[in-house]
């Protein structure tokens, strides 16, 4: 209040004549303020300064806090969904699947199935010629199961 009154008196001194009643009234108010401030002990002035500092910090916080909250929301929007913890490193030798083993097993099983088919086919041809009744019986069994 004292600083505000000093500014007002300074402005009035420059703009109006020295016998202006408003200027005189403001000078009287300034003198009274100076008396009141002189009556306040030094500890009281320190308390007032601390109170003023708290009020300033509160105003700054009122302005900055919404900006901070908005920045936190924006930061959560920008966080990637997947985080790469470690880079992939190519192994020195392959562990699985063992292709050579798969190829060998596939080749042997196809060879065995081919041999079984060839032998079965040959056996059926032999039965067709040697035992036609047995051949027809087997054929009817397979056809009946296929229709079921």
Helices and strands (H and E) in the chain: how many: 5, 0
Residues 12-28 have a mean pLDDT of: 88
Q: Report d(CA 11, CA 77) in Å as an integer.
A: 53
Is the model more confident about 68 or about 141? 68
User: Is-cis flag, bond preceding 97, omega within 30?
Assistant: yes
52 φ, ψ (degrees, to nearest 5):
-60, -40
pTM of the model: 0.34
Residues 106-132 have a mean pLDDT of: 91
User: Which residues neighbour 9 within 8 Å (Cβ) at sequence distance 6 or greater?
Assistant: 23, 26, 27, 30
Residues 3-31 have a mean pLDDT of: 88
pLDDT in the model for residue 145: 61
Percent of the chain with pLDDT over 90: 23
pLDDT in the model for residue 85: 83
Q: Report d(CA 148, CA 140) in Å as an integer.
A: 12
pLDDT in the model for residue 147: 60
Is the model more confident about 27 or about 146? 27
Residues 114-123: tens digit of each pLDDT: 999 999 889 8
Q: Report d(CA 100, CA 50) in Å as an integer.
A: 83
Q: Report d(CA 106, CA 81) in Å as an integer.
A: 43
Residues 49-105: tens digit of each pLDDT: 889 999 999 999 999 999 999 888 888 777 667 777 888 888 888 788 888 899 999
Q: Dihedral of the CA atoms 51, 56, 57, 62 (nearest 10)? A: 130
């Amino acid at each position: 209040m004292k600083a505000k009154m000093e500014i007002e008196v300074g402005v009035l001194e420059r703009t109006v004549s020295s016998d202006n009643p408003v200027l005189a009234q403001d000078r009287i108010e300034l003198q009274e303020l100076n008396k009141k401030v002189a009556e306040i002990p030094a500890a009281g002035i320190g308390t007032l300064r601390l109170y003023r500092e708290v009020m300033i910090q509160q105003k700054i916080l009122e302005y900055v806090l919404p900006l901070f909250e908005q920045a936190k929301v924006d930061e959560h929007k920008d966080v990637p969904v997947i985080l790469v913890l470690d880079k992939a490193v190519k192994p020195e030798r392959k562990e699985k699947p063992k292709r050579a083993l798969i190829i060998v097993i596939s080749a042997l099983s196809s060879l065995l199935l081919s041999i079984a088919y060839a032998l079965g086919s040959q056996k059926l041809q032999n039965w067709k010629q040697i035992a036609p009744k047995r051949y027809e019986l087997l054929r009817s069994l397979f056809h009946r199961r296929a229709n079921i």
